[in-house]
A and B are shown apart, each in its own frame.
Chain A
Amino acid sequence: MSRTGFQLPLLPGRSPSEPPDTQDRTRALEAKGASEQVGARVRRLFGGSFHLRHVDAGSCNACESELKALANPYYDLHRLGIFIEPSPRHADGLIVTGPITLPMREPLLRTYEAMPEPRLVIAVGTCACTGGIFAGSELVAGPLERLLPVDVYIPGCPPSPLTLLHGLLLALGRVEEARR
């Protein structure tokens, strides 16, 4: 097995000898490539340990579902040295989902305040990026860019795990840029 440990999935109703279809193969290779790049950057920039704090600021939980998929064995985020952290004190970056409802505004700002610098802010999903269908509602304080300096926008309703991986790659790229 290769160093990245990536193997094609065994889908139901298909015997292991049968070749998987082209779409799966393409996606798998894409995921593999992205993962390898993310992993390399995490190792280079963060010594192999990149911690993120996630705040659900009124999301419908679709984004959470996709974020969680990043941790499953298919993508296996931890293998790359990326961890979702319970305490903002230990986090390098903040992932925000949802349109920032009014009750979640204060906790979100407190979380950001509690993070050490430098800190990345990643808006995940249409709601966090633009407000989505809630944009302009008097009950939301978002979109996120009105409250915090956003480094990376990851659009999608919800964004797929692969999109999220690309977003993380982008975020790490910004760190690399800043370091130069």
Chain B
Amino acid sequence: MTGILLPAILGLDVVAIAIALGVRPPLGRRVALGLLAIGGILAATLGGFVLAGSGGPGFVLDTGLPTGALHVSVDPLGALFLILAGLLTAAAAVYADGYLAHTDAGVVRAHVAVFALLVAAIVSVLVAADGVAFLFAWEVLAWSAYLAVILDIDDPRVGRAAFLMLAVSELGTAALLAAFVVLGANGFTFPAMIARGEALDEPVRSLVFWALVLGFGAKAGIMPLQLWLPEAHPAAPSHVSALLSAIIVELGLYGIVRFAFAALPTPEIWWGPALTALGAVTAAVAILWALLQNDIKRVLAYSTIENVGLIVAALGLSETFRAAGLAVLAALALVAALYHVSTHAFGKGVLFLAAGSVDHGTGTRDLDRLGGLTRPMPVTSVAMLLGVLSVAAIAPFAGFLSEWMILETFLQSPAVPLLGSRLVLVAAGAVLALTAATAVLAFARLFATGFVGRPRSRGAHDAVEAPRSMRFGMALLLGPLLAIGVLPALALPLVDRAAAGVVGPSVAMQLIPPLFGNAGPYAALVAIGGATFRGLLPGNGLVIIPAPGLSTIVSPTYLVLFEAGFVVLTALGVRAIRRLGRDRRAPAWGGGMSWRHPAAQYTATAYANPLRLIFAALFRSKALLSVPDPAASGGSGALEYEQQAPPPLERELYAPLLRSVSWFADKFKVLQSGDTNAYVGYILLVVVLIVLLRVL
């Protein structure tokens, strides 16, 4: 069964490329995207089969390359990502049909073909089972992502953003190549690479680890290589941004787990804390900058960097525990990290699709020009709200439990014997808690200023709901998002199976105590109702204990019941109170005014201002107010106000770097005089040098 699925998926993608190129839109577009959606569902099915325990497919393709045959197989870790990638591709492909409906036919043909190639590349990266196949798929992924971002071919900014993404990606590939060459000295199959990694000696081992982190970090957006995310995400069409943010960025994390963790089984003690510190700084800086952005997609892109930082911090924690010999804690941290990857993928996918439909329906993504969208765009608004609640980690939505588990595993850091590591972990945990709180602020701002209130521009006033295919695409992701939020106890064993064996044993029994079966030491939980629904639902139980011992106990499933109960009780209470007295509904009191200018509403810029002032030393933001000369404009010129807060690394690292590079280029220009005699002189000089070297 699984043996047929994999060729079928890749075959569908190839057919989709052919149809997209060969058949004119709208038919060609629709069929090609439909095939991609089916391929996505099949990929998720394949992942499900493998995680459910049936053996994954395995192929060996003898290509005659000097590096040996290409190996293809699906293991549990790849299967987890295959489920995420499959569902997200399906949703993005369905969504893209409506999104591309009004784009120029020739552009759409090429774009859909490239999109299909991108999808095929994502699947290939996940099923590649040797270093060469992986790197090949990785490069196809980088290039097809570059091409897929450029839908709007006329806008030079889009081209620049895509080029930046490609450049950072290639920088990462260079680092990967170096690491792979070292690891692949005895052949590029995964077992051979792992054996080689185990045998490496100290300075080389650390270099390989950090080259892998750098290489995959370029894709994941770990500082200092996060700079392409806030540029490429807004530039890309929304179905591509959703894939970028929810899958392609996560593939970087997949690479870190797959190679940096699995191939180097005995970490140095400093790797973990350093990785955690890197992740915590990434998360904290990104979420602060997310708060300042007015472009919805930029907010989401910075939030993606923040979530990647959070996951990397958890990965570092796992590595620290592993170095200290605490295998169970290491496995718990890895499960938390991978679970956060899953919840973030669904949440951010929904958010990017919803952001695209806002752009589609209003013509703008500027929060200060939006507002009042809940009535004209109900489906988009609900999708956005649910996505926001999940990514902002509000219980019982999906992101809550994963973020909770990460913070909970951080509270286990006293188990680490080394004082220095402990201090780093504790500080990182505190920074991450602050980050989580700031994320709530950033997402409250996104929804409150963008969707409720009254429209601030003509575009928002005349907003239209997205077409059916786009609404369906969003709904396709809302299903799993809500399901894993409400029933995490059914999703976590799958994540555990994917993580088991990488850094530690399976921890499913510990994470989800068997309250439905023989509760043993957890009998007290059963006594207070911890076994409700026994017999109705499969699995161990619905209660999750994210850390050893009974330090905290959480169950989103029962929480939903309680929350629903409170809502019902409140509604009944209000009805009862109403009946007691006379009831009259009066409009909100607005100081007696009957009309207010929508621009007088609280804006996104104003919402972020207190934080901008508190962190002024970090943001170094500048407010530019240009007052036109009354004489020149006839006394009717508009005031222009603009705020700038360039991100710290762009400001402190990349801008000086670029300046020095162009300074050097300027100096070397002297050599390129264009004078033929001078060039002949250079050649003579070189010949003399070579002769001298030969002689000496």
B584 near A110 with CB under 8 A, answer no
Of the residues B582, B586, B593, contact of A113 by C-beta under 8 Å:
B586
Q: Once the chains bind, are B589 and A106 in contact (CB under 8 Å)?
A: no
| Interface check A176, CB cutoff 8 A | no
Chain A CB within 8 A of B681 CB? no
Residue A143 at the chain B interface, CB threshold 8 Å: no
Interface residues of A in 144-174 (CB under 8 A from B): none
**A8 contacts the other chain (CB 8 A):** no
User: Which residues on A sit within 8 Å (CB–CB) of B586?
Assistant: 113-114
Interchain CB contact under 8 A, A107 and B589: no
Complex partner residue of B582 from A87, A110, A117, CB under 8 angstroms: A117
B521 contacts partner chain A, Cβ-Cβ < 8 Å: no
What interface size band does chain A fall in? Answer: 10 to 19
**By the criterion CB–CB under 8 Å, are B584 and A107 in contact?**
no
- Is A88 in the interface zone, CB < 8 Å from B? yes
Is residue B630 contacting chain A, with contact meaning CB distance below 8 A? no
CA distance A55 to B587 in the complex (A): 18
Compute how far the CA of A126 lies from the CA of B66 in the bound complex, rounded to whole angstroms: 105
Q: How far is the CB of B578 from chain A (nearest CB, A)?
A: 14
Q: Contacting B589 at CB < 8 Å: which of A55, A87, A108?
A: A87
In whole angstroms, how far apart are the Cα atoms of A106 and B584 in the complex? 19
- Give every chain A residue within 8 A of B589 (Cβ-Cβ): 87-89, 110, 114
Chain A residues with CB under 8 A of B587? 110, 113-114
Interface mask (B221-244 → A, CB under 8 Å = 1, otherwise 0): 000000000000000000000000
B592 interface residue (CB < 8 Å to A): yes
Please, which residues of chain B bring their CB within 8 A of the CB of A88?
Answer: 589
- Least Cβ–Cβ distance between B524 and chain A, in angstroms: 49
Residues of B near A107 (CB, < 8 A) are 592-594
Select from chain A the residue with minimum beta-carbon distance to B584. A117
- What is the chain B residue whose CB lies nearest that of A55? B592
Residues of B within 8 A of A55 (CB): 592
Which residues in A have their C-beta under 8 angstroms from that of B593? Answer: 107
How many whole Å from A15's CB to the nearest CB in chain B? 50
| Residues from chain B with Cβ under 8 Å of A114 in the complex | 586-587, 589
Q: Which of A89, A110, A117 contacts B592 (CB 8 A)?
A: A110
Provide the main secondary structure of the chain A interface.
helix
Q: Does A37 contact B (CB under 8 A)?
A: no
| A67-103 to B contact mask, C-beta < 8 Å, 1/0 | 0000000000000000000011100000000000000
Task: Quote the shortest CB–CB distance from B577 to chain A (angstroms).
Answer: 14
Cα distance, A55 to B592, chains bound together (Å): 10
For B592, list chain A residues within 8 Å (CB): 55, 106-108, 110-111
* Most B CB within 10 A of own CB, among A89, A111, A113, A117: A113
Which partner residue on chain A sits nearest B588 by CB separation?
A114
What's the tally of chain B residues with a CB closer than 8 Å to chain A?
A: 9
Interface centre among B584, B587, B592, B593 (most CB of A within 10 A): B592
Binary interface encoding of chain A residues 1-19 relative to chain B, with 1 for a CB under 8 A from any of its CBs, else 0: 0000000000000000000
A87, A110, A111 pick with most chain B CB within 10 angstroms:
A110
B574 to chain A minimum Cβ distance, whole angstroms, is 17
CB contacts under 8 Å to A, within B541-595, are 582, 584, 586-587, 589-590, 592-594
Within the assembled complex, what's the spacing in Å between the Cα atoms of A83 and B592? 20
Nearest residue (CB) in B for A108 is B592
Measured CB to CB, the nearest residue on chain B to A113 is B586
- Enumerate chain B residues within 8 angstroms of A111, measured Cβ to Cβ: 592
Q: Could you say which residues of chain B place their CB within 8 Å of the CB of A87?
A: 589
Q: How far is the CB of A113 from chain B (nearest CB, A)?
A: 5
Given the complex of chains A and B, what is the CA–CA distance between A113 and B586 in angstroms? 6
| A107 to B592 CA separation, bound complex (whole angstroms) | 4
Q: Kindly list chain A residues whose C-beta atoms are within 8 Å of the C-beta of B594.
A: 106-107, 110
Name which residue of chain A comes closest to B582, CB basis: A117
- In the assembly, what is the distance between CA of A111 and CA of B584, in Å? 14
* Cα–Cα distance between A89 and B587 once the two chains are bound (Å): 11
Complex-state Cα separation, A55 to B593, whole angstroms: 13
Proximity bits, A107-123, B CB within 8 Å = 1, else 0: 11011011001000000
Hey, which chain B residues are within 8 Å of A110, CB to CB?
587, 589-590, 592, 594
- Could you tell me the distance in whole angstroms from the C-beta of B585 to the nearest C-beta in chain A? 10
Instruction: State the CA gap A87–B590 with chains docked (Å).
Output: 10
Assembled-state Cα–Cα distance A88/B586 (Å): 12
Distance, CA A117 to CA B586, complexed state (A)? 11
Residues in B neighbouring A113, C-beta threshold 8 A: 586-587
Write the nearest CB–CB distance from A90 to chain B, whole angstroms: 10
Task: Provide the residues of chain B in CB contact with A117, threshold 8 Å.
Answer: 582, 584
Given the complex, which residues of B lie within 8 Å of A108, measured CB to CB? 592
Task: Give the CA-CA distance A111 to B594 in the complex, in Å.
Answer: 11
Q: Give B583 Cβ to nearest chain A Cβ, in Å.
A: 10
- Whole-angstrom CA separation of A87 from B592 in the bound complex: 10
Q: How far is the CB of B584 from chain A (nearest CB, A)?
A: 7
A113 to B590 CA separation, bound complex (whole angstroms): 12
Q: How far, in whole Å, are A169 and B8 apart by their CA atoms in the complex? A: 90
A113 to B585, CA, bound (A): 9
| A88 CA / B584 CA spacing, docked (Å) | 15
> Chain A residue with minimal CB distance to B591?
A107
The docked-state distance in angstroms from the alpha carbon of A180 to that of B592 is: 34
Closest CB in chain B relative to A50 CB, distance in Å: 20
B residues 589-614 touching A (CB-CB < 8 Å): 589-590, 592-594
Distance, CA A117 to CA B581, complexed state (A): 11
Task: Compute how far the CA of A55 lies from the CA of B586 in the bound complex, rounded to whole angstroms.
Answer: 18
Bound form: Cα–Cα A94–B298 in Å:
50
The CA of A110 and the CA of B589, in the complex, are separated in Å by 8
Shortest distance between the CB of A54 and any CB in chain B (Å): 12
Q: In angstroms, how far is the closest chain A Cβ from the Cβ of B80? A: 54
Q: 6 closest Cβ contacts across the A-B interface?
A: A107-B592, A114-B589, A110-B592, A113-B586, A106-B594, A114-B586
Q: List 7 A-B contacts (CB under 8 A).
A: A87-B589, A106-B592, A106-B594, A107-B593, A110-B592, A114-B586, A117-B584
> Chain A: residues with CB nearer than 8 A to chain B?
55, 87-89, 106-108, 110-111, 113-114, 117
Q: List 12 additional contacts besides A55-B592, A117-B582; criterion CB under 8 Å.
A: A106-B592, A106-B594, A107-B592, A107-B594, A108-B592, A110-B587, A110-B590, A110-B594, A113-B587, A114-B586, A114-B587, A114-B589
